[in-house]
Amino acid sequence: MRRKLVVGNWKMNGSKTKNKSLLEDVVAGVRDLHNADYVVCVPYPYLGQAQSLLQGTNVAWGAQNLCATEDGALTGAVSPDMLVDYGCTHVIIGHSERRIQFHETDDTAATRFNVALKAGLTPIFCMGESREERESDWTEYVVGRQLDSIIRRFGADFLAKAVLAYEPLWAVGTGKPATPEQAQEVHSFIRGRIARCNAEVAENVRILYGGSVQPANASALFAMPDIDGGLVGRCSLDAKAFVDICKAACQHPMTA
Ligand code: 13P
C-alpha cells in the first residue's frame, strides 16, 4: 500500500513576508488532512524559515538540489549535511530545469541521488521527456534511460528509500498537464521497469506526477493506479490551490 504524497516545489520564488503567510495557511489547511503526506521544497535561503514555521506540523520541508560533496572549496554549493542541519527530509534531484539550464546530466544526478540517501535525505528523483521526444515516440527510451542511470549504478534496491517523479517537460509550467491516461501509461512503464529488477521495491515506491497539477485536475490524476501523488510547481505558491490539491490526494488515500 502506498500513501499519497504531495510535494510543493517553489522553484526560485518567495520572500520572507510571502512565505510566512503561505506556510501558515498551508499548515492550517492540511492540519486535519491525515490521509496523505505533505512536503514543501523551498529555496535554500528560506530553509531556516521553513524549519521554524513547519516543525511540529504535518508538513515536512526540503530543498531543490544539493551538492554531491561533503564540504570544502566549492563556492556557491550547499552540502547534504547542511540540509540535514536545517531539518530537511527531502531533496529534489534531477529536475528538468536543472538538467537543461544548469547542464546537469544523468550521471551527476545519479551521484547526487546517492549522496542524498547517504545523508538520510529522501531524494525526489525527476524524469521526463520533451515534447519533441514524445512526438518521436521516445518517451520510454528517455525515461528508461534516466531511471537506469540509478538502477545500473546502484541497483534497484536504492529506489526503496526514494520518491520518483514523472514530469513531462511539455506539461511543466504550461498549464497543460498530461491527461491522467498519458501519465498513468508512463508511471506504469516506470513501475514495470523497476519490477524487472525488484518486484517489492516496484510495488512500494511512490511515483509522483508533476506538470501543471491544479485543483481542477488533481483528483483525476491521483485516481490512477500508479500515480501516488503530485510534484506541484505554480499551484504550490497559492495556499488555497495547494491545500485543495492535498485534499484531492486524501480522496484517494492509498494506491495498490
Ligand atoms: P508546474 O506545476 O508549475 O507545472 O511545475 C511542475 C514542476 O516542475 C514541479 O517540479
Cell of 150: 540509478
**Residues 6 or more apart in contact with residue 191 via CB below 8 angstroms:** 202, 205, 207, 226
Mean pLDDT in residue range 112-137: 97
Residue 196 CB burial class (10 angstroms; 0-12, 13-18, ≥19): exposed
Give the pLDDT of residue 210. 98
Active-site amino acid positions: 95, 167
- pLDDT tier for residue 256 given thresholds of 50, 70 and 90: low
Q: Is 167 in the pocket of ligand 1 (CB under 6 A)?
A: yes
Specify the ligand 1 atom closest to the Cα of 214. 2
**Residues 6 or more apart in contact with residue 244 via CB below 8 angstroms:** 215, 218
- pLDDT tier for residue 9 given thresholds of 50, 70 and 90: very high
What homologous superfamily does CATH list for 2-255? Aldolase class I (3.20.20.70)
Give the pLDDT of residue 17. 98
Give the pLDDT of residue 55. 98
Give the pLDDT of residue 70. 86
Give the pLDDT of residue 253. 73
Q: Whose CA is nearest to atom 7 of ligand 1?
A: 233
pLDDT in tens, 57-108: 999 999 999 999 988 999 999 999 999 999 999 999 999 999 999 999 999 9
In DSSP terms, which residues pair with 93 in a beta bridge?
Answer: 125
Contact present, 124 and 165 (Cβ < 8 Å): yes
Q: Is 236 in the pocket of ligand 1 (CB under 6 A)?
A: no
Specify the ligand 1 atom closest to the Cα of 210. 6
Best residue among 167, 169, 176, 214 to mutate for probing ligand 1, ranked by most atoms within 8 Å of CB: 167
N residues, the chain: 256
Cell of 172: 511543466
Name the amino acid, one letter, at 169. L
Q: What is the 3-state secondary structure (H, E, C) of the chain?
A: CEEEEEEEECCCCCCHHHHHHHHHHHHHHHCCCCCEEEEEECCHHHHHHHHHHHCCCCEEEEECCCCCCCCCCCCCCCCHHHHHHCCCCEEEECCHHHHHHCCCCHHHHHHHHHHHHHCCCEEEEEECCCHHHHHCCCHHHHHHHHHHHHHHHHCHHHHHHCEEEECCCCCCCCCCCCCHHHHHHHHHHHHHHHHCCCHHHHHHCEEEEECCCCHHHHHHHHCCCCCCEEEECHHHHCHHHHHHHHHHHHHCCEEC
* pLDDT exceeds 70 at position 255: no
Give the pLDDT of residue 1. 86
Domain extents in the chain: 2-255
pLDDT in tens, 25-56: 999 999 999 999 999 999 999 999 999 999 99
Four-point Cα dihedral 24, 8, 251, 58, nearest 10: -50
Q: Is 213 in the pocket of ligand 1 (CB under 6 A)?
A: yes
pLDDT in tens, 195-241: 999 999 999 999 999 999 999 999 999 999 999 999 999 999 999 99
